[in-house]
């Protein structure tokens, strides 16, 4: 007799098999969920006090995912196309980021007219992915949203990632060309790649420790003082062959140990000193353990990261991150920090994120040129095909936005 537990196990196994065929890590999506929820909670309520380390987790994940993809492409095809990589990154990052920039500037013209020039300048730097240098020079800080803060302050990590990804494929390409010229085998190529990345990572960590003590603002926002976190993820990608041999029984132990380190960092780190280095080593090591534990075979007994809710929140984590800070800041200019503010902030954040993900981020990320041309032709003829998941996401987003507006209207301290 087949029990509900047997059905659940079979369903879970099918999801894992489908994900593996698509080079899609369910546990990494769950890790993204942990990171984005930590950031959202910290920026809204200042709790947990180390919630800002979600950014450090994002850096590790980004370094791993992109480097693993570059190395896999170079290994399978024997060549690497930086141009194709850049096009994919643009489709992945720019549409949603630009939409949020435009809408935030427009909303600021209404809500924060006295600061419109400053917000416009912030948007300009953010659009060209140099917001981190701009905010570092300006002495920016991650204050609570209810304090006076730029509604675009949260673009600084995106700038660091894109600066990294401009240079990174060129580095991998250069190493690949050297390997081809010297007729190196796969092991020699991987070893040299790991050594090069390791040197850069160690140098960046040393610089981060020095700068965290001497210039905390630049250490926080600086590219060189954050490179080591992306480098840690990249190093993991060079050692996938080693991690693939981790025994099945050890994998869940490593994964949960990583989550324990992340949990400890959320409650122990307060950012008052020694950040990003050496304290960011704690969440970076935690994220690295989770990633390493799932190479080639995701660990058993890790339903926390792999369940459908966790992975879906991981899927929409980029959109959640993009919209949350402008919503928090602009609402704080109109409302007192009461329960109505928190309810409105959360429902509007999740509602707008659902719309952004299902209507902008995901369609443009995966749309082929042929699909785009077909969509244009259909629209000219009055046809518009929408998938069921997009419909559900849009409806869910509109419902949450409606709830947020109602909560705003019910707030006695709201500005009409």
Kindly state whether residue 71 falls inside one of the protein's structural domains: yes
- What's phi and psi for 301, nearest 5 deg? 55, 35
pLDDT for the residue 264: 98
pLDDT for the residue 415: 59
Give the model confidence (pLDDT) of 260-288 as tens digits: 999 999 999 998 889 999 999 999 999 99
* Confidence category of residue 367, pLDDT binned at 50, 70, 90: low
Kindly state whether residue 170 falls inside one of the protein's structural domains: yes
How many Å from the N-terminal Cα to the C-terminal Cα in the chain? Answer: 61
Q: Over 60: is that where the pLDDT of 56 sits?
A: yes
Are residue 284 and residue 339 in the same domain, yes or no?
no
DSSP state of 357: I
From 282, 301, 320, the end of a domain falls on 301
- Cα–Cα dist 285/374, whole Å: 46
* Confidence category of residue 29, pLDDT binned at 50, 70, 90: very high
pLDDT for the residue 144: 46
- Cα–Cα dist 253/241, whole Å: 19
Are residue 297 and residue 346 in the same domain, yes or no?
no
Q: Would you call 48 helix, strand, or coil by DSSP? A: coil
pLDDT for the residue 413: 65
Give the model confidence (pLDDT) of 96-121 as tens digits: 999 999 999 999 999 999 999 999 99
Kindly state whether residue 97 falls inside one of the protein's structural domains: yes
Are residue 218 and residue 363 in the same domain, yes or no?
no
pLDDT for the residue 8: 47
Are residue 233 and residue 350 in the same domain, yes or no?
no
Kindly state whether residue 9 falls inside one of the protein's structural domains: no
Q: Would you call 409 helix, strand, or coil by DSSP? A: helix
Are residue 64 and residue 167 in the same domain, yes or no?
yes
For 88, other C-beta atoms within 10 Å of its C-beta total: 14
Are residue 159 and residue 296 in the same domain, yes or no?
yes
Least confident span in 19-28, 219-228, 378-387? 378-387
Write out the residue range of the structural domain in which residue 386 sits. 334-415
Are residue 98 and residue 220 in the same domain, yes or no?
yes
pLDDT for the residue 237: 97
pLDDT for the residue 146: 47
Are residue 277 and residue 359 in the same domain, yes or no?
no
Are residue 342 and residue 295 in the same domain, yes or no?
no
Kindly state whether residue 47 falls inside one of the protein's structural domains: yes
Are residue 41 and residue 125 in the same domain, yes or no?
yes
Kindly state whether residue 8 falls inside one of the protein's structural domains: no
Number of domains in the chain: 2
Are residue 231 and residue 274 in the same domain, yes or no?
yes
Kindly state whether residue 310 falls inside one of the protein's structural domains: no
Kindly state whether residue 112 falls inside one of the protein's structural domains: yes
pLDDT for the residue 23: 65
Who has greater pLDDT, 318 or 378? 318
Who has greater pLDDT, 325 or 391? 325
Q: Over 70: is that where the pLDDT of 213 sits?
A: yes
Give the model confidence (pLDDT) of 125-184 as tens digits: 999 999 999 999 987 655 444 456 899 999 999 999 999 999 999 999 998 888 878 878
pLDDT for the residue 128: 97
Are residue 129 and residue 26 in the same domain, yes or no?
yes
Q: What is the mean pLDDT of the chain?
A: 89
């Amino acid at each position: 007799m087949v029990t509900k537990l047997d059905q659940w196990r079979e369903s879970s196994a099918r999801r894992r098999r489908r994900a593996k065929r698509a080079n899609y890590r369910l546990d990494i999506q769950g890790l993204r969920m942990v990171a984005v929820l930590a950031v959202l909670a910290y920026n809204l309520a200042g709790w947990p006090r180390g919630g800002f380390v979600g950014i450090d987790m994002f850096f590790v994940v980004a370094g791993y995912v992109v480097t693993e993809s570059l190395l896999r492409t170079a290994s399978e095809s024997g060549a690497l196309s930086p141009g194709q990589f850049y096009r994919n990154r643009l489709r992945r990052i720019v549409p949603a980021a630009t939409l949020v920039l435009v809408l935030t500037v427009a909303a600021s013209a209404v809500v924060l007219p006295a600061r419109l020039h400053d917000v416009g300048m912030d948007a300009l730097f953010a659009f060209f992915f140099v917001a981190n240098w701009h905010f570092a020079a300006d002495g920016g800080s991650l204050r609570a949203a209810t304090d006076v803060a730029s509604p675009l302050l949260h673009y600084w990590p995106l700038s660091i990632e894109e600066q990294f990804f401009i240079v990174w494929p060129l580095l991998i390409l250069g190493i690949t060309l050297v390997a081809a010229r010297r007729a190196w085998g796969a092991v020699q190529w991987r070893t040299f790649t790991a050594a090069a990345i390791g040197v850069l990572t160690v140098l960046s960590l040393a610089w981060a420790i020095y700068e965290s003590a001497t210039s905390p603002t630049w250490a926080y926002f600086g590219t060189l003082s954050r490179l080591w976190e992306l480098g840690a993820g990249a190093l993991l990608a060079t050692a996938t062959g080693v991690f693939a041999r981790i025994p099945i029984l050890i994998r869940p132990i490593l994964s949960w140990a990583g989550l324990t380190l992340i949990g400890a960092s959320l409650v122990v780190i307060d950012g008052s000193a020694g950040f990003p280095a050496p304290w960011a080593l704690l969440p970076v090591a935690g994220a690295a353990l989770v990633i390493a534990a799932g190479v080639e075979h995701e660990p058993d007994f890790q339903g926390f990261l792999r369940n459908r809710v966790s992975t879906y929140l991981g899927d929409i984590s980029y959109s959640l991150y993009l919209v949350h800070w402008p919503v928090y800041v602009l609402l704080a200019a109109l409302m007192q920090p009461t329960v109505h503010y928190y309810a409105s902030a959360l429902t509007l954040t999740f509602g707008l994120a659902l719309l952004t993900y299902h209507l902008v981020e995901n369609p443009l990320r995966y749309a082929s040129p042929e699909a785009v041309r077909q969509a244009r032709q259909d629209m000219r003829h009055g046809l518009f095909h929408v998938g069921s998941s997009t419909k559900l996401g849009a409806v869910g987003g509109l419902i949450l936005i409606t709830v947020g507006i109602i909560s705003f209207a019910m707030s006695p301290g709201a500005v009409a």
